Copies of this chain bind each other. A is one copy, B any other.
Amino acid sequence: MAALSSSRTSFFFSTASPHPKPRRISKVVRMAYQENGPSLAVVGVTGAVGQEFLSVLSDRDFPYRSIKMLASKRSAGKSVRFHGEEHIVEELTADSFDGVDIALFSAGGSISKHFGPLAVEKGTIVVDNSSAFRMDENVPLVIPEVNPEAMKGIKVGKGKGALIANPNCSTIICLMAVTPLHRHAKVLRMVVSTYQAASGAGAAAMEELVQQTREVLEGKPPTCNIFRDQYAFNLFSHNASVLSNGYNEEEMKLVKETRKIWSDANVKVTATCIRVPVMRAHAESVNLQFENPLDENAAREILKNAPGVVIIDDRAANQFPTPLKVSNKDDIAVGRIRQDVSLDGNKGLDIFICGDQIRKGAALNAVQIAELLL
């Protein structure tokens, strides 16, 4: 599990803010605590996404009657704040899920593979942020704005455990903007190039980017513990393993998850995933080829009405989405919406999408899934 982001880092870069806004504490405590609410568990609570789970649960007044803070043995005994109260982190064990209705997992694939099924056996509904079960045909892969029907029938209170997978951050951010267009004109082919933030590799990667940047500015050799390549003032191909077809795992997630979420085995997707020295929001340059004509004004109108999407597309002022504009925001931002000059008949569009990787790319999407369980 990634270490908890230092408060110093949080302050400078608006990383996960683990504390609810003080002015809301009393109100939130009253609204979110409910005797008949579900019992919750957060697995990997000390990581960047784990901390954001707490922040989002709090911001959205998610109802709960109890909450367990779970992490590795190393983090057990630490204290985390939630709704203005201190909670002691417990070590994750096979017994952790007794009586837990909903568990939000973000502790890496191997933890999910081991403890996810154990939790389901105990009747817990697991919302898993790892890649462990995403392509399992028995596990729904859900973006609530896109395919809530995939988890139909899975509800708290039925006494039945279940697994639901949170898609990869790049997929969520991309499909939030592309799906409304797809529904209108049917995407035949999508070419994606990503500009991915440090946060996708955890809080330790964010801290290393800060440390390296300081070192480079001071003329010192940069410390490279998390990534092989220098990250400060540089960029590099995503650190995920490269498969035999030459794509890395991150890229193939975009290819495969899109097919599953859209229930469309024929949609053609290619992707190039790159890490850039940005803290917590991803950007994606997306080229779309449609079956039916779609002009850019129609596209803009569709996106204007898309839930969870805002348009930033001021050509005169040269103002478009940036990672900083969406950091700590729920909504995905879309801009640079334009007819692709390389495709005839209004059958192509280029768009540029930004989204907070920790929030909608991970924690928010998982909490939205959990809301559908109630």
A residues lining the B interface (CB < 8 Å): 11-13, 189-191, 193, 195, 209-210, 213-214, 216-217, 219, 228-230, 233-237, 239, 241-242, 245-248, 255, 268-270, 272, 274, 276-279, 283, 285, 287, 296, 315-320, 322-324, 335-343, 348, 350, 352
**Are A336 and B272 closer than 8 Å at their CB atoms?**
yes
5 cross-chain pairs, A with B, having the tightest CB-CB distances, nearest first: A246-B338, A193-B193, A268-B342, A193-B285, A242-B315
A253 to B337 CA separation, bound complex (whole angstroms): 19
Which residues on B sit within 8 Å (CB–CB) of A315?
242, 246
A77 to B193 CA separation, bound complex (whole angstroms): 47
CB-nearest residue of chain B to A276: B276
- Identical copies of this chain, number: 2
CB-nearest residue of chain B to A316: B242
Which residues on B sit within 8 Å (CB–CB) of A340?
270
A268 to B343 CA separation, bound complex (whole angstroms): 8
Nearest CB in chain B: distance from A16 CB, A: 16
A350 to B279 CA separation, bound complex (whole angstroms): 27
Known: A214-B217, A228-B319. 5 other contacts (CB 8 A): A190-B342, A237-B336, A246-B338, A269-B342, A272-B287
Which residues on B sit within 8 Å (CB–CB) of A268?
341-343
Q: Known: A193-B193, A217-B213, A246-B296. Contact between A236 and B320, CB under 8 A?
A: yes
CB-nearest residue of chain B to A270: B342
Nearest CB in chain B: distance from A9 CB, A: 10
**Are A278 and B234 closer than 8 Å at their CB atoms?**
yes
A357 to B320 CA separation, bound complex (whole angstroms): 24
* Residue among B234, B246, B317, B337 making CB contact with A336, cutoff 8 Å: B246
A247 to B340 CA separation, bound complex (whole angstroms): 9
A319 to B229 CA separation, bound complex (whole angstroms): 8
* Residue among B11, B209, B233, B335 making CB contact with A278, cutoff 8 Å: B233
Which residues on B sit within 8 Å (CB–CB) of A210?
217
**Are A338 and B247 closer than 8 Å at their CB atoms?**
yes
Which residues on B sit within 8 Å (CB–CB) of A234?
278, 322-324
**Are A318 and B235 closer than 8 Å at their CB atoms?**
no
Q: Known: A296-B246, A350-B270. Contact between A235 and B285, CB under 8 A?
A: no
Nearest CB in chain B: distance from A274 CB, A: 7
12 A-B contact pairs sorted by A residue (CB < 8 Å): A12-B219, A189-B342, A190-B342, A193-B193, A193-B272, A213-B217, A230-B322, A230-B324, A245-B339, A247-B338, A255-B341, A270-B341
Which residues on B sit within 8 Å (CB–CB) of A217?
12, 210, 213-214, 217
* Residue among B230, B245, B272, B341 making CB contact with A245, cutoff 8 Å: B341
A300 to B348 CA separation, bound complex (whole angstroms): 30
**Are B191 and A342 closer than 8 Å at their CB atoms?**
yes
Which residues on B sit within 8 Å (CB–CB) of A317?
228
Which residues on B sit within 8 Å (CB–CB) of A322?
229-230, 234-236
A76 to B276 CA separation, bound complex (whole angstroms): 39
A217 to B319 CA separation, bound complex (whole angstroms): 25
Which residues on B sit within 8 Å (CB–CB) of A233?
13, 209, 277-279, 324
Nearest CB in chain B: distance from A116 CB, A: 28
A342 to B342 CA separation, bound complex (whole angstroms): 17
Which residues on B sit within 8 Å (CB–CB) of A239?
318
Which residues on B sit within 8 Å (CB–CB) of A193?
193, 272, 285
CB-nearest residue of chain B to A220: B12
**Are A274 and B195 closer than 8 Å at their CB atoms?**
yes
**Are A278 and B214 closer than 8 Å at their CB atoms?**
no
